[in-house]
Homo-oligomer: A and B are copies of this chain.
Amino acid sequence: MIVQKYGGSSVSTAEKIRTIAGKIRSRVNEGEKLVVVVSAMGKTTNQLIELASRVSTAPLEREMDMLLATGEQVSAALLAMALNDLGVPAISYNSFQLEMVTTRTHNNARIRDIKLIKLQKELEKHEVVVVTGFQGITDEGHITTLGRGGSDTSAVAIAAKSGSRCEIYSDVAGVYTCDPRIQPRARKIEYITYDEMLELASSGARVLHARALEIAKKYGVDLYCASTFSDERGTYVVHDLPEWLEQPVVTGITSDPNQTKVTICNLPNDTKVLSRIFVNLAQENVNIDMISTVNDNGHSHLTFTFISGNFEVVRKTLDNTLKDLEGWKFSTDDKVIKLSVIGVGMQSTTGVAGRFFSALSNSGIKLLGTTTSEIKISALVHIAEAERATEALAKEFDLLREE
């Protein structure tokens, strides 16, 4: 048994659904039994949200889930019809029928259990079971949805529970060494580890949701990410790279433009002040990313970035937090981008940081901030320098296709 997942853009029209049904048939003809997880058609979810906003100023989360869950049920039923039309015995299943039990957190539920016995029974009678992604039910029988990346999560969870492989199909042909929109010579990665992929996903690469990856990593689910409508080879996401593969030091570069830099100079050299700043920002739901501090003559200078937060909220929170202190200076910059190089190979290789900083400085890039983790080095740079910085790093770490 193999689990496949098709995203919203892959099932956005009747014609695409028929095309997918044809692809699935070839796999069935090769002797495989498939569980196919589908998202809602194209923009359906957004249309339903729009409809809800027109009947209610603050739609109840429980009813929102009831509403949104219909989207996947439509695409699941249509794909099952299309498969049967091609002579492939198939049946659609919603989260109720599958008993995909989740927590009671509407709009953002987490999967607690999946009754495999039902799936297995249907797979005895059919070649394909089409399952609604993104949704579940509570132990009380209310419909839930899994939040962002929900269909990926459904697919990986089913694969995890059943010990199957999982194939994720979308309009992205796999995982690349850099963002192909910034660097046209970006190379497709054939094998990548869960940890590298997690860093990529959380840094904005949109192939696969981090939450689904966490489950894949925890249960050792072999993943394959590829394009729905091309036969081009995709990317395998695995626990360990195959032994025959020469392990690269750096697997890829990600860029995240969704950052605003805040610098506060001349703070007292007191950790309590720092802690108060970040506690208060967290209470306002400001999502902090990079943090750097430098001490100098009894003063402390702080740089941090926040993502998807509100600038006015940050300013007010800082004003309130620091109102009893004097002498500090505050500045912000939202024309910044975070570039990160990622690779499990770093852990066993020395000098990676040196090569990273040299590559940037040799190209005259100004470094606005930096953070590191075990398998990642990140630099904050001006957005105007992003392309040049990406090229410098890609060359340094051998991430480009040959011309």
A362 is an interface residue with CB less than 8 A from chain B: no
Q: Do A92 and B66 touch (CB < 8 A)?
A: yes
Q: Do B92 and A63 touch (CB < 8 A)?
A: yes
For A58, what are the chain B residues with a Cβ–Cβ distance below 8 Å? 85
For A172, what are the chain B residues with a Cβ–Cβ distance below 8 Å? none
* Shortest Cβ gap from A347 to chain B (Å): 49
How far is B74's CA from A25's CA once the two chains are assembled, in angstroms?
32
How far is B17's CA from A70's CA once the two chains are assembled, in angstroms?
18
Q: Which of A46-54, A249-257, A283-291, A381-389 touches B? A: A46-54
Q: Do A73 and B77 touch (CB < 8 A)?
A: no
Q: Do B85 and A63 touch (CB < 8 A)?
A: no
How far is B76's CA from A21's CA once the two chains are assembled, in angstroms?
31
* Shortest Cβ gap from A52 to chain B (Å): 6
How far is B81's CA from A57's CA once the two chains are assembled, in angstroms?
9
A82 is an interface residue with CB less than 8 A from chain B: yes
- Residues of A44-96 whose CB lies within 8 A of B: 48, 51-52, 54-60, 62-64, 66-67, 69-70, 73-74, 76-82, 84-85, 91-92, 94, 96
For A80, what are the chain B residues with a Cβ–Cβ distance below 8 Å? 60, 63, 66
Contact with B along A223-235 (1 / 0, CB 8 A): 0000000000000
Partner of A82 from B56, B73, B94, B143 at Cβ < 8 Å:
B56
Given that A14-B54, A48-B74 are known contacts, is A84 also in contact with B63, CB under 8 Å in the complex?
yes
A310 is an interface residue with CB less than 8 A from chain B: no
How far is B66's CA from A83's CA once the two chains are assembled, in angstroms?
15
Name the CB-closest residue of B to A93: B66
Q: Which of A51, A57, A67, A77 has the most CB of B within 10 A?
A: A77
Determine the interface band of chain A, counting residues with CB < 8 A from chain B.
Answer: 35 or more
A364 is an interface residue with CB less than 8 A from chain B: no
Name the CB-closest residue of B to A48: B74
Given that A55-B82, A141-B96 are known contacts, is A66 also in contact with B76, CB under 8 Å in the complex?
yes
Q: Do A52 and B81 touch (CB < 8 A)?
A: yes
Q: Do A74 and B84 touch (CB < 8 A)?
A: no
Partner of A55 from B81, B97, B143 at Cβ < 8 Å:
B81
Q: Do A81 and B96 touch (CB < 8 A)?
A: no
For A78, what are the chain B residues with a Cβ–Cβ distance below 8 Å? 51-52, 55, 63, 67
Name the CB-closest residue of B to A86: B56
How far is B218's CA from A197's CA once the two chains are assembled, in angstroms?
64
How far is B48's CA from A96's CA once the two chains are assembled, in angstroms?
21
A315 is an interface residue with CB less than 8 A from chain B: no
A301 is an interface residue with CB less than 8 A from chain B: no
Q: Do B84 and A60 touch (CB < 8 A)?
A: yes
A211 is an interface residue with CB less than 8 A from chain B: no
How far is B80's CA from A21's CA once the two chains are assembled, in angstroms?
36
How far is B369's CA from A331's CA once the two chains are assembled, in angstroms?
93
How far is B71's CA from A48's CA once the two chains are assembled, in angstroms?
12
A18 is an interface residue with CB less than 8 A from chain B: yes
How far is B91's CA from A79's CA once the two chains are assembled, in angstroms?
30
For A96, what are the chain B residues with a Cβ–Cβ distance below 8 Å? 96, 141
Q: Do B81 and A60 touch (CB < 8 A)?
A: yes
* Shortest Cβ gap from A265 to chain B (Å): 48
- Residues of A124-161 whose CB lies within 8 A of B: 141-143
Partner of A70 from B18, B73, B142 at Cβ < 8 Å:
B73
8 residue pairs bridging A and B, Cβ less than 8 Å apart? A14-B51, A51-B74, A55-B82, A56-B85, A59-B81, A64-B77, A66-B94, A69-B73
